[in-house]
Homo-oligomer: A and B are copies of this chain.
Amino acid sequence: MKTLPKPLTVSDIAALVGGEAMGALDHAVTGVANLADARPTDAAFLENQKYAALAAAAPAGCLFLGPERRDMPCAAKGRVIVQEPRAAFAALVRLIDAHDRTKILPARSARASIHDRAVLGPNVAIGDFAVVESGAEIGENTVVMPQAYIGANAKIGRDCLIYPQVVIREDCVVGDGVIIHPGAVIGADGFGFLTDKKTGRHAKIPQIGNVIIEDGVEIGANSTIDRGAVGSTVVRRGTQIDNLVQIAHNVQIGRDCVIVSQTGIAGSSIVGDNVILAGQAGIAGHLTIGSGAIITAQTGVMSDVPPKSVLFGSPGRPHREAFKLQALIGRLPELFEKIKKLERPTI
């Protein structure tokens, strides 16, 4: 498995993450692991109470713990007390990743198809069988992995990572530091047509807009973000999008949102900043979801959502109400019994 650039003692680690070292301060670890797999050469962390027993028994080399658990019994050689154990653990993961990551594409492949009129910045890597069409621009240090497709006049910023078999269609704009995972499709036609009322037949409306992805966005594998019918579909700075998410034409998504797998957002809806859309959520078209709202998993949203509200259910309701109603639904058999009794004639 992947290892740290050099072994670190429990003390080293505490210094690195700004925590307090306890136990075998000079014990050295060479890697990281989940609690269930941790060996004495690994650092691990506990944050979710669900795994407390696992953490106590784990023969790890170094265990990151929150201050509230500093004295919990545990089998680890040493421990490091920090406010955010997961963040401290992530710091080690970053060291490993920077050291150990396969250098994937140091150069421009002769087996890519790069149009004469494409403009590539310094140090751009283009993998085998990738296609970069006429007028496309790709910024410094960006890596386009094998078999990706960059359409005509698309603009990709610097320091991006475009994984294999991503499609970015013509005229789309991608900011800096964007990561797009394999199979994602940016800028496919929106789902737009006119239906003849008499015949029921549909006539396509050409989709002449584009997609704008701002800096620092990450887009999951096989997700689809359609181009605007006219104008742009927009995903703003820092938003994180998981796999198999659908974002329809002319949707606008704010900054720093989290959109979990298999969620769908229908056309022209506007999502504020820091919104969380949990897995398999669905947002109907032409709605506004206020900043800071949380739409829980599988929830269906059919009307505007005020900022910071939390919705649950299909159709979605405020989550406290929805949970209460679910509890009452569970008591329906009892209710029907009561009614039966009440209806019985008193003798």
Q: How far is the CA of A281 from the CA of B90 in the complex (A)?
A: 31
> What is the distance, in angstroms, from A169's C-beta to the closest C-beta of chain B?
7
B222→A90 contact, CB < 8 A: no
Interface residues of A in 269-292 (CB under 8 A from B): 273-274, 279-280, 282, 284, 286
B256→A200 contact, CB < 8 A: yes
CB-CB under 8 A from A34, the residues of chain B are: 228, 230-231, 250
A93→B206 contact, CB < 8 A: yes
CB-CB under 8 A from A69, the residues of chain B are: none
Q: How far is the CA of A319 from the CA of B260 in the complex (A)?
A: 27
Residues of chain A touching chain B, judged by Cβ–Cβ distance below 8 Å, are 2, 32-34, 36-37, 48, 50, 84, 86-87, 90, 93-94, 96-97, 100-102, 104, 109, 111, 113, 127-129, 131, 133-134, 146-147, 149, 151-153, 163-165, 167, 169-170, 179, 181-183, 185, 188-189, 191, 193-195, 199-206, 208, 218, 220-222, 224, 226, 228-231, 238, 240, 242-244, 246, 248, 250, 256, 258, 260-262, 264, 266, 273-274, 279-280, 282, 284, 286, 297-298, 300, 302, 313-315, 317, 321, 324-326, 328-333, 335-336, 338-339, 342-343
CB-CB under 8 A from A231, the residues of chain B are: 33-34, 36-37
Contacts known (A167-B182, A181-B185); A224 close to B243, Cβ less than 8 A: yes
B205→A90 contact, CB < 8 A: yes
B279→A264 contact, CB < 8 A: yes
B32→A230 contact, CB < 8 A: yes
> What is the distance, in angstroms, from A266's C-beta to the closest C-beta of chain B?
6
Q: How far is the CA of A329 from the CA of B333 in the complex (A)?
A: 10
30 of the cross-chain contacts (CB-CB < 8 Å) are A36-B231, A93-B229, A94-B205, A102-B133, A102-B134, A128-B131, A131-B164, A147-B149, A149-B165, A181-B189, A185-B243, A191-B220, A191-B240, A191-B242, A199-B256, A200-B273, A222-B224, A224-B244, A244-B264, A246-B262, A261-B264, A279-B284, A280-B280, A298-B300, A314-B314, A315-B326, A324-B333, A335-B336, A339-B342, A342-B342
Q: How far is the CA of A270 from the CA of B297 in the complex (A)?
A: 19
> What is the distance, in angstroms, from A272's C-beta to the closest C-beta of chain B?
11
CB-CB under 8 A from A97, the residues of chain B are: 206, 208
A224→B218 contact, CB < 8 A: no
Contacts known (A147-B147, A297-B300); A221 close to B280, Cβ less than 8 A: no
Q: How far is the CA of A212 from the CA of B294 in the complex (A)?
A: 33
| This chain's copy number in the assembly | 3
CB-CB under 8 A from A244, the residues of chain B are: 222, 224, 244, 246, 264
Q: How far is the CA of A201 from the CA of B181 in the complex (A)?
A: 20
B48, B205, B243: which contacts A93 (Cβ < 8 A)?
B205
> What is the distance, in angstroms, from A307's C-beta to the closest C-beta of chain B?
13
Contacts known (A131-B127, A185-B222, A338-B339); A282 close to B298, Cβ less than 8 A: yes
> What is the distance, in angstroms, from A247's C-beta to the closest C-beta of chain B?
9
A33→B230 contact, CB < 8 A: yes
